[in-house]
Amino acid sequence: MNKILNKDKLLMLIGGVFIYVLFYYISKQTPLAGDDWGYAFNGLNDNIFRTISHFYTNWSGRVFSEFYSLTVIPQKWLWNLLNPLLFLLIYYVLIKIINKKSYVIYVGVLMFMLSVSNHMRMQTYTWLTGTGFYTIALLSLLVYLYIIKSVLLHKKQFNLYRILIAILCNVQISMSMENAAIILVLLNMSVLVYAYIYKKEYFKIFFLIFIFNLVAFAILFFAPGSSQRLLRDHADWVSLSVFEKISINWKHFMYYTFLSSPILFSFFNIVSLMHIFTSWKQNKYVKSIMALIIIMSFIFIYAEKLHISWLVDMKDIRIVVFLTVYYFIYVISIFYILYHVLKRTLFIEVSVYIVLAGVSNAVMMMSPIFAARSSLYTYYLLVLVVLLLMNELKVKIIYPIFVVISIGIIGIKTINYIKIYQTVSHFHHMRMQQIQYYQDNPNEKEAWLVRMPSELIHSYDIELNDTYHQEVFKKYFKLNPEMKLIFYNHKK
């Protein structure tokens, strides 16, 4: 038994070392970009608390995100250490939530962590501002989910240590990002109902945690800066009705929820199909219909690779309607299958994750900016669902196949990450040489700076009409404020 435990710990340690080393490398290669320049300049040259107060009244209520960004981004070396630590902790907490000592889980977690969409990688994995606004909240959400599961399902003691961590996670999430804060409120309401029915002794504790959640939530949502920014920067959006906002963002919801993560949904579908044919005692006609509904999603997920991209053309209203109807049926089918193949407590747990994943993206339809980074919580909640379902498979023969495929994907993704950030480092070195020239020659009227190749990192280049980033870029790099910045494409 001890040998097995030691082997499991060793395998988990290897995975942890791998994720830390990889993310340390790509973090070190990543330069500041976009909003990073503004946070770095303000963090170095102004009182942090005065800046946060100004942002609260003029920009947003994301107090924790602003504090982290203003303190850490100016110290790039510190972010280089914290970012890989953050992903190491995400790796560890995911494994703890799944609660299975298995090489399959360790490999699966690594594979899914490296399989996020390209834009999500750019906006959350190695964008310094993205860390403070999105990724830390993800870790806090996962930690809180682990505490909830430990107390309610695994009957661990709700001691002071766990209570304080739960409160801190709730406050941090609720003062970092709007959609994460909303799903946290929904999660806490669900937990209160469950605790009242099955764990009355913990109801008051969870109610106390919920109070902290609501107070921090109110600080975020009632910030005067949030409404001012909407009116100032998105006046047209504010004037739209709820229905008009949904009609505009529905295609983004469909894409970021179902179509942008082909690897994740491929495994989700395969595991669901395995449960249909190995765990479900149902007549063959119902099983065949459910299987057909799931198999159809492969066509949409890989439409572009199959050269039938018209099938997911979100500009065509007929396609949008068709996909909406299909995915509505798909989700109902998934719940129907899970209800019949899972034990009650696991069905409740998985259902909560799926609902939170959907709500996380659904609330973004009220936002004028619905980007890949907003779907980070949706993605990781669905990762939990897939791996929990994998745990319950009765036919274990699929495990070696899953591991071999996962290791192959990890290898491909790792090589891809290394190539991307080698290129990033190369172009950043070129730009820094150019910046040095313009620092030494401040009387130049124009600064010609090389662009980063597209789809590598987020917001590294600035357009002429983007006056804010032009200004903070010149301030951060100590360039002549009258100098005109021109970003050009590098010719091979």
369 assigned to some structural domain: yes
For residues 325 and 461, state if they share a domain.
Answer: no
The upper half-sphere exposure of residue 82, i.e. CA atoms within 13 Å in the direction of its Cβ, equals 18
345 assigned to some structural domain: yes
272 assigned to some structural domain: yes
Q: What is the pLDDT along the chain (492 residues), one digit of tens a residue?
A: 445 446 778 888 999 999 999 999 999 999 999 999 999 999 999 899 999 998 899 888 899 999 999 999 999 999 999 999 999 999 999 999 998 888 899 999 999 999 999 999 999 999 999 999 999 999 999 999 999 999 998 888 889 999 999 999 999 999 999 999 999 999 999 999 999 999 999 999 999 999 999 999 999 999 998 888 888 888 899 899 999 999 999 999 999 999 999 999 999 999 999 999 887 877 788 889 999 999 999 999 999 888 898 888 888 899 999 999 999 999 999 999 999 999 999 999 999 999 999 999 999 999 999 999 999 999 999 999 999 999 888 887 888 999 999 999 999 999 999 999 999 999 999 999 999 999 999 999 999 999 999 999 999 999 888 899 999 999 999 999 999 999 999 876
Copy the structure tokens of residue 437: 């020239």
Q: Give the span between the Cα atoms of 453 and 427, in whole angstroms.
A: 8
For residues 348 and 311, state if they share a domain.
Answer: yes
Please name the amino acid found at residue 63: V
458 assigned to some structural domain: yes
For residues 238 and 378, state if they share a domain.
Answer: yes
120 assigned to some structural domain: no
Q: Whole domain around residue 336: which residue ranges?
A: 232-395
Q: Give the span between the Cα atoms of 152 and 191, in whole angstroms.
A: 9
Angle CA(397)–CA(403)–CA(408) in degrees, nearest 5?
140
For residues 390 and 425, state if they share a domain.
Answer: no
Please state at what angle helix 178-198 crosses helix 160-174, rounded to 10 degrees. 150
Quickly tell me which residue has 């946070």 as its tokens.
Answer: 39
Write the CB contacts of 47 (distance below 8 Å, at least 6 apart in sequence). none
Write the CB contacts of 393 (distance below 8 Å, at least 6 apart in sequence). 271, 274, 275, 278, 279, 399
- Decide: 175 and 216 in contact? Cβ < 8 Å: yes
Q: Give the span between the Cα atoms of 329 and 229, in whole angstroms.
A: 38
Q: Give the span between the Cα atoms of 466 and 197, in whole angstroms.
A: 54
Q: Give the span between the Cα atoms of 7 and 103, in whole angstroms.
A: 9
Count of the separate structural domains present in the chain: 2
For residues 358 and 442, state if they share a domain.
Answer: no
Copy the structure tokens of residue 321: 């309607």
Write the CB contacts of 427 (distance below 8 Å, at least 6 apart in sequence). 450, 451, 452, 453, 490
pLDDT at 282: 73
Q: How many residues does the chain have?
A: 492
For residues 345 and 281, state if they share a domain.
Answer: yes
CA dihedral 34, 425, 417, 19 (to 10 degrees): -90
334 assigned to some structural domain: yes
Copy the structure tokens of residue 244: 């008009």
For residues 236 and 315, state if they share a domain.
Answer: yes
168 assigned to some structural domain: no
Name the β-bridge partners of 448: 486
Nearest to 120, CA basis, from 97, 138, 98: 138
For residues 429 and 321, state if they share a domain.
Answer: no
Of 395, 410, 434, the last residue of a domain is: 395
For residues 448 and 335, state if they share a domain.
Answer: no
For residues 269 and 364, state if they share a domain.
Answer: yes
441 assigned to some structural domain: yes
For residues 336 and 438, state if they share a domain.
Answer: no
Write the CB contacts of 367 (distance below 8 Å, at least 6 apart in sequence). 178, 249, 374
For residues 351 and 427, state if they share a domain.
Answer: no
Write the CB contacts of 116 (distance below 8 Å, at least 6 apart in sequence). 124, 125, 261, 376, 379
DSSP state of 450: E
Strands (E) across 400-478 are located at 446-450
Angle CA(75)–CA(476)–CA(228) in degrees, nearest 5?
95
0.85 exceeded by pTM: yes
